Amino acid sequence: MHDTKIEATLSDSAWSGGEAPFAVNSKKLGMWLFIVSDTLTFSAMLLVYSWVRLANPGWPRPFEIYPAIAKSTFMTVILLASSLTMVLGVAAAHRNDRAKTVRWLLLTALGGIAFVVLHTTEWINLIHEGYTPWSTPQGVPLFGATFFGITGLHMLHVTIGVIYLSVMALGYGGGKFDADDVEVSGLYWHFVDLVWMFVFPMIYLMSIKL
Amino acid sequence: MSAQGDGSEGHQVGSTRLFVTVWVWLVAITAFEVFLGYERLQPELMLGLLVALSLVKAALIVSYFMHLKYEKLSMALMLVPPTIFCICMIIIFFFPDSWRLMQIRLQ
């Protein structure tokens, strides 16, 4: 289904608008281009974080082994596991196994929900310790601003991903979307996972309370 | 439906075994990163190691989970080098300034 569609586009001449230079459908190309731009957003934010950290003496290192590091490590494993279920969902979709695809997609969304819930408890814990987006006990408000800014933006991505995957599970189960759509939603989900692979070491592991 | 099954022309979706192997590697690297977090290394060395390991993880996710390894090479060439170039540009513009700030602070 997937391949024949692309071949059909390829066989049209360039003059009639039918060319697929990368041999992927436009939805997939669009998602990739979005991912490139979002990568730059997150890299800019992480670089600003490093910049601000160098510029501020006494940068807080508030993360103790429990709960912060234990929890964020567990969250990382959950997110990685949800990527695995996603990729199995995409494979099932390409085999045209609708029931299994829906199950994998819902499991992936569940992983996302678990991540957001755990992260929220971790935020609440920090807020109780006196870290807010505008102040810290050490008097370095920029720690709060950058920490909650970056992790908040990532959490927003996860939340949007959970909604996206739920819609995809319902729509694909109902025959409204095809395997290509599932694959595109998978690209987004893996990207959210990938971003966390940088946020976790740079924000959490670099600020462990020793 | 039939086009998918024959795994035609570089559109191999990958086996469950491969995905699980990649996942195990990702978890193992994460575990090593957490271990590093508790080693009292120089901050610069630690940052370098963590970023390098994260780049390995990113490469694994992009090539296998996001399937870029099995797309046309031209697509990877269109996506990856420009992104790296842009990130390098941000670093080149930001880094001397933050380095200077650190030197001022240390004086």
pLDDT given for residue A18 in this prediction: 65
Whole-angstrom distance, CA of residue A105 vs CA of residue B62? 19
pLDDT tens for B21-45 read 999 999 999 999 999 999 989 988 9
Percentage of residues in chain A having pLDDT higher than 70? 91
In A, which residues are within 8 Å of B64 by CB distance?
A: 87
If one compares A188 and A1, the residue with the highest pLDDT of the two is: A188
CB B41 within 8 A of CB A208: no
Same structural domain, B78 and B67: no
pLDDT computed for residue B89 by the predictor: 94
Q: Taking a contact as any Cβ pair under 8 Å apart, which residues of chain B between 35 and 74 contact chain A? A: 36-38, 40, 43, 46-47, 50-51, 53-54, 57-58, 61-62, 64-67, 71-72, 74
User: Does one domain contain both B78 and B49?
Assistant: no
Mean confidence (pLDDT) of chain B: 86
The answer, yes or no, to whether the previous bond of A57 is cis (omega within 30 of 0) is no
Question: Of chain A residues 83-122, which have a CB less than 8 A from chain B?
Answer: 83-84, 86-88, 90-91, 94-96
Same domain (yes/no): B2, B49: yes
Q: How many domains does chain B have?
A: 2
* Maximum separation of any 2 CA atoms in chain A, in Å: 65
The residue segments making up the domain with residue A171 are 27-207
pLDDT of amino acid B9:
37
Predicted local distance difference test score (pLDDT) of residue B7? 38
DSSP A168-188: HHHHHHTTSS-HHHHHHHHHH
Q: Which of B33, B65, B78 sits opposite A201 (nearest CB)?
A: B33
**A44, A50, A206: residue with CB nearest B98:** A50
More confident residue, A36 or B102: A36
Please check whether residues B62 and B79 belong to one and the same domain.
no
Indicate whether B43 and B85 sit together in one domain.
no
Q: Are residues B21 and B58 in the same domain?
A: yes
Cross-strand partners of A135: A132
Rounded to an integer, the average pLDDT of A159-163 is 98
Give me the sign of the Cα torsion angle B21, A38, A148, B37. positive
In this structure, what are the phi and psi dihedrals at residue A208, rounded to the nearest 5 degrees? -70, 135
Q: What is the mean pLDDT of residues A22-36?
A: 93
Mean pLDDT confidence for A43-48: 94
CATH assignment of the domain containing A108: 1.20.120.80
> Domain range spanning residue B86?
72-107
Q: Is the pLDDT score of B6 beyond 70?
A: no
How far away is chain B from the Cα of A106, in angstroms, using its nearest Cα?
18
Is the Cβ of A205 closer than 8 Å to some Cβ of chain B?
Answer: yes
Judging by beta carbons within 10 Å of its beta carbon (0-12, 13-18, 19+), is residue A137 exposed, middle or buried? exposed
What is the token pair recorded at A60? 């807080």
Which one has a higher pLDDT value, A2 or A44? A44
Residue A21 lies in a domain: no
CB contact under 8 A, A198 and B58: yes
Q: Are A183 and B24 in contact (CB under 8 A)?
A: no
Q: Quick one: B33 and B51 in the same domain?
A: yes
Residue of B nearest to A53 (CA): B98
Proportion of chain B above pLDDT 70, given as a percent: 88
Write the pLDDT tens digit of every residue in A99-119.
999 999 999 999 999 999 999
pLDDT in tens, A164-197: 999 999 999 999 999 999 999 999 999 999 999 9
Contact A22 B101 (CB under 8 A): no
How many domains does chain A fold into? Answer: 1
Query: What local confidence, expressed as pLDDT, does residue A132 receive?
Result: 95
Same domain, B66 and B90: no
